[in-house]
């Protein structure tokens, strides 16, 4: 059997086994008192605030004791802390350490989830490539409250023909599309099984051999399928050709910068802005792909320059780290690098309002009455130091504490 179609059978089987179902929510009341609330990146902060959560939604937020706390309520003392909307990580992978998620002990999964995601404030994540059936099983357990974790959105990967990246195990079977018809079939399969988007490897790194790029006609075929269902398409570009083919094919999000190229061209920046293409910088990634510190610095600075160039053009920036592929879970360095190109409020936007607006999630991204009670309590004020975004005291999703530093 052709391995591309064997892969599709696996996809359909995973859908039948692990399609998630809705879960009923219990009545819950949570109050956070004494903190400094940043309702959004552009709104004035609320000092000494009282924040009330009921049934997974923010029911009130006001300065001082602007309302009477209902009883019983779980109360978090947030004096001296900053409170912001829950963070999105728009580029993660449930790969290493996540196998067997359907039957793995819940406490083991929770510990790994904390190490990788919830202790860093993430309440929504985009998985941009993993074994679909396994991650669907993990998502089902998270939504059933078996495993405290973020809301998981998933994109299915499509690679170019003979584009098996050297950093992936050679025995790993990958969905490679040789033509537009195959890309169409693969994209349809992913979306039919309940995934939320598509990721295209428009450039596959082959080590000492030339990069294998995906042709524009293949890109466009997958994009057409996704856009017909209102779903986004991400791309992993490895070089300028990968970026240009992705843009020509209508891809929505660049999942990385391309520091090996040094910069985007004026034409690329203009087209990105015209098409409202979003950019995920993943700057810390460049410290993990080479061992020479000098080369690391060069790659990071080139990525910072590309981020700054597009941000200065008014481009949409989404926070993402590629964790799960890398094991550098600590987000401090990513915030430091991004801070070289943009202000702390803009970094906050990349974590909150930008993804909420870009991915059409109006109930997320802001600290307002009626929005989802997804928020982060920080031990340091990010207005004083952008690295304070990594100093997480509590992560709350849907009114539930899914991580506590205590």
Within a domain: residue 49? yes
Within this chain, do residues 257 and 399 fall inside the same structural domain, yes or no?
no
Within a domain: residue 363? no
Q: Check residue 65 and give its pLDDT.
A: 60
User: How many domains are contained in the chain?
Assistant: 2
Within this chain, do residues 278 and 300 fall inside the same structural domain, yes or no?
yes
Within this chain, do residues 35 and 17 fall inside the same structural domain, yes or no?
no
Within this chain, do residues 378 and 280 fall inside the same structural domain, yes or no?
no
Within this chain, do residues 43 and 134 fall inside the same structural domain, yes or no?
no
Q: What number of other Cβ atoms are within 10 A of residue 71's Cβ? A: 6
Within this chain, do residues 352 and 374 fall inside the same structural domain, yes or no?
no
Between CA 246 and CA 237 the distance in angstroms is 8
Q: What number of other Cβ atoms are within 10 A of residue 354's Cβ? A: 21
Within a domain: residue 138? yes
CATH code at 378?
2.30.40.10
Within this chain, do residues 264 and 307 fall inside the same structural domain, yes or no?
yes
> And the tokens for 237?
């570009």
> And the tokens for 350?
């990349």
Q: Check residue 24 and give its pLDDT.
A: 37
Within this chain, do residues 345 and 398 fall inside the same structural domain, yes or no?
no
Within this chain, do residues 143 and 8 fall inside the same structural domain, yes or no?
yes
Contacts (Cβ under 8 Å, ≥6 apart) of 354: 278, 316, 317, 318, 365
Range of the structural domain that residue 389 is part of: 29-84+368-404
Q: What is the bridge-based pairing of β-strands 197-200 and 151-160? A: parallel
Query: Which of residues 325, 340, 358 is at a domain's end?
Result: 358
CATH code at 10?
3.20.20.140
Within a domain: residue 71? yes
> And the tokens for 180?
């537009």
Within this chain, do residues 282 and 393 fall inside the same structural domain, yes or no?
no
pTM above 0.75, yes or no: yes
Q: Check residue 187 and give its pLDDT.
A: 98
**pLDDT per position in the chain (406 positions), as tens?**
444 434 444 444 444 444 443 333 345 789 999 999 999 999 999 999 999 999 999 999 998 765 677 667 789 999 999 999 999 999 999 998 999 999 999 999 999 999 999 999 999 999 999 999 999 999 999 999 999 999 999 999 999 999 999 999 888 889 999 999 999 999 999 999 999 999 999 999 999 999 999 999 999 999 999 999 999 999 999 999 999 999 999 999 999 999 999 999 999 999 999 999 999 999 999 999 999 999 999 999 999 999 999 999 999 999 999 999 999 999 999 999 999 999 999 999 999 999 999 999 999 999 999 999 999 999 999 999 999 999 999 999 999 999 999 8
Within this chain, do residues 158 and 206 fall inside the same structural domain, yes or no?
yes
Q: Check residue 64 and give its pLDDT.
A: 77
Q: Are 269 and 279 in contact (CB under 8 A)?
A: no
Within this chain, do residues 42 and 113 fall inside the same structural domain, yes or no?
no
Q: Are 87 and 123 in contact (CB under 8 A)?
A: yes
Within a domain: residue 45? yes
Q: At what angle do helices 293-312 and 266-274 cross, to 10 degrees?
A: 50
> And the tokens for 339?
């801070």
Can you tell me which residue has the tokens 């000492």? 208
């Amino acid at each position: 059997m052709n391995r591309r179609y064997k892969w599709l059978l696996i996809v359909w089987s995973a859908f039948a086994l692990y399609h998630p179902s809705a879960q009923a929510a219990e009545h819950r009341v949570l109050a956070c008192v004494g903190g400094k609330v940043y309702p959004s990146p552009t709104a004035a902060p609320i000092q000494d605030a009282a924040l009330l959560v009921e049934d997974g939604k923010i029911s009130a937020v006001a300065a001082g004791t602007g309302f009477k706390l209902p009883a019983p309520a779980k109360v978090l003392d947030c004096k001296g802390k900053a409170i912001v909307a829950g963070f999105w990580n728009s580029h993660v992978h449930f790969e290493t350490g996540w196998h067997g998620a359907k039957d793995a002990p819940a406490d083991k999964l929770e510990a790994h989830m904390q190490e990788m995601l919830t202790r860093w404030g993430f309440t929504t994540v985009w998985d941009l490539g993993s074994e679909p059936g396994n991650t669907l099983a993990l998502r089902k357990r998270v939504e059933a409250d078996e495993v405290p974790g973020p809301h998981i959105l998933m994109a299915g990967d499509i690679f170019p023909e003979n584009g098996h990246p050297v950093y992936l195990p050679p025995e790993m079977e990958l969905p490679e599309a040789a033509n537009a018809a195959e890309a169409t079939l693969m994209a349809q399969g992913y979306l039919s099984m309940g995934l939320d988007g598509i990721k295209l490897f428009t450039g596959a790194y082959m080590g000492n051999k030339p990069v294998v790029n995906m042709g524009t006609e293949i890109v466009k075929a997958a994009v057409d399928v996704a856009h017909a269902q209102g779903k986004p398409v991400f791309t992993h570009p490895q070089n300028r050709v990968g970026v240009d083919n992705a843009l020509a094919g209508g891809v929505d999000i660049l999942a990385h910068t391309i520091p090996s190229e040094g910069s985007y061209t004026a034409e690329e920046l203009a087209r990105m802005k015209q098409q409202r293409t979003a950019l995920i910088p993943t700057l810390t990634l460049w410290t993990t792909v080479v061992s020479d510190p000098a080369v690391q610095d060069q790659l990071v600075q080139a990525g910072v320059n590309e981020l700054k160039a597009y941000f200065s053009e008014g481009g949409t920036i989404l926070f993402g780290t590629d964790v799960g592929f890398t094991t550098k879970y600590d987000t401090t360095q990513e915030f430091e690098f991004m801070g070289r190109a943009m202000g702390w409020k803009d970094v906050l936007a990349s974590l909150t309002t930008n993804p909420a607006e870009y991915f059409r999630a109006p109930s997320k991204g802001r600290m307002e009455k009626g929005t989802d009670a997804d928020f982060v309590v920080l031990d340091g004020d990010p207005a004083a130091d952008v690295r304070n975004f990594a100093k997480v005291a509590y992560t709350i999703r849907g009114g539930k504490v899914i991580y506590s530093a205590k």
